[in-house]
Chain A
Amino acid sequence: MKLRKNVAVSEAGLLFNPVTGESYSVNPIGVEIINLLREEKSPEDISKFILGKFATDKATFEKDYHDFIGILEHHNLLDSHEETKA
């Protein structure tokens, strides 16, 4: 699961897809996850990182992570469409 190479992400959390011209804003946790996707971290590594940094449980994170990946896929921001489990 990789973020498309040409998608630009600002520190403030603005995603810009240069192919479509669309922009999206994401919250700080979203930025963290996107940066981890950029580094090609596995869903397990991303889960460990987020659970270590934020006060949430695994089940809640997994649900939110799937929702988030689904949104990124829907907007064509990911290179792969394969099913990923956190």
Chain B
Amino acid sequence: MKKRKLKIAVTGLNAIDSPGPGISVIRALREAASFDVRIIGLSYESLEPGIYMHDLVDRTYSIPYPTAGIDTLLARLEYIHEKEKLDVIIPNFDAELYPFIKLETKLKAMGIHMFLPTLHQFEERQKVNLNEFGKKYNINVPRSKVIHDLSMVYSLQSEFSFPMIVKGKFYDASIAYSIEQVKSYYNKISAKWGLPIIIQEFIHGTEFNVTGLGDGKGNTIAAVPMRKQYITEKGKAWGGISISDEEMLDMTRKFLRTTKWRGGFELELMKNKDGELYMLEINPRLPAWIYLAVGVGQNIPEALVKLAMGEKVKPFTKYTVGKMFVRYSWDMIVDREEFEQISIYGEL
């Protein structure tokens, strides 16, 4: 039987050393059992590798950075939609989610579907709100403090012991072993991502991640826990293995049940030496390692598209444990004309 063909736009084509999830999401969509796809890449930079991966991405359009404003983004999406007649958009960056959430109703009216967390869910799980989030939903989180001013750094010693984590509001985290290091990371991270900075209690232990999908009604549609086996200098997983920790799955189900999370997500968890589990971060989108979930039997991007299209999705109930992913880098040979095309015309 011939499958229907969906036109799906995907961001996060930056398959670099700190990779965006786009390419993994696209691989998952191309393996979807219930539909075929035409993939439209949405890029921010001309050297995002996905732009040139023509076997995965059918056509790419550049889009403006979120700082350009929602109206500029909408105008660009209207142009792309006119050309491509999009069915679904899957945004894959934390920083772009706010404008896409704001545009969800307008895009829906144009016939473009998304399946994103609500603005309330998106804001509530922000790093700056993690303490309150933990209290409200009775989820174990590390103690943290938001600082807006470098002078606040000196009072930290009475509240936190060293080492402590210095985090940016969107990205970046460093372990500081002295006040001098806290100050240095404060300056470095705030220069890149702005204020505030979050100081977090350091939990000694092993880091795990869970990716999954919530239906927005409290149900767990998918959940796959993973342990990073090979971590890059930027803290990204270059290799990992699926595991079967019931406690992590329980925490995930509780997170989805209590918040009624809508959309894909990645939980960053830490287990200390006493076996206590902490939720360090909630990333409101699918992770770059999402293809492992497909490899163990849960095609989460496919399920997300179906939910976006308003279709019923049966929750996944099992996955293969002990399956690994090993990432690799690959040099593509690209004609300069292609680079010119995307750089000057914003389309390829």
Contacts and interface: CB of A to CB of B under 8 A. Distances in A.
Contacts of A21: 208, 226-227, 229, 240-243
Nearest to B248: A19
A21 B242 CA distance: 7
Contacts of B241: 21
B321 interface: yes
A21 B226 CA distance: 8
B245 interface: yes
Interface string A5-38: 0101000000010111110000000000000000
A18 B245 CA distance: 7
Interface string B223-241: 0001101000000000011
A10 to B, nearest CB: 11
Contacts of B244: 6, 18-19
Contact of A16 (B208, B245, B322): B322
B322 A19 contact: no
Contact of B206 (A16, A18, A20): A20
A9 to B, nearest CB: 12
Contacts of A8: 322
Interface of A: 6, 8, 16, 18-22
Given A18-B322, A21-B208, 9 more contacts: A6-B244, A8-B322, A18-B243, A19-B244, A20-B227, A20-B245, A21-B226, A21-B229, A21-B243
17 contacts: A6-B244, A8-B322, A16-B322, A18-B243, A18-B244, A18-B322, A19-B243, A19-B244, A20-B206, A20-B245, A21-B208, A21-B226, A21-B227, A21-B229, A21-B241, A21-B243, A22-B227
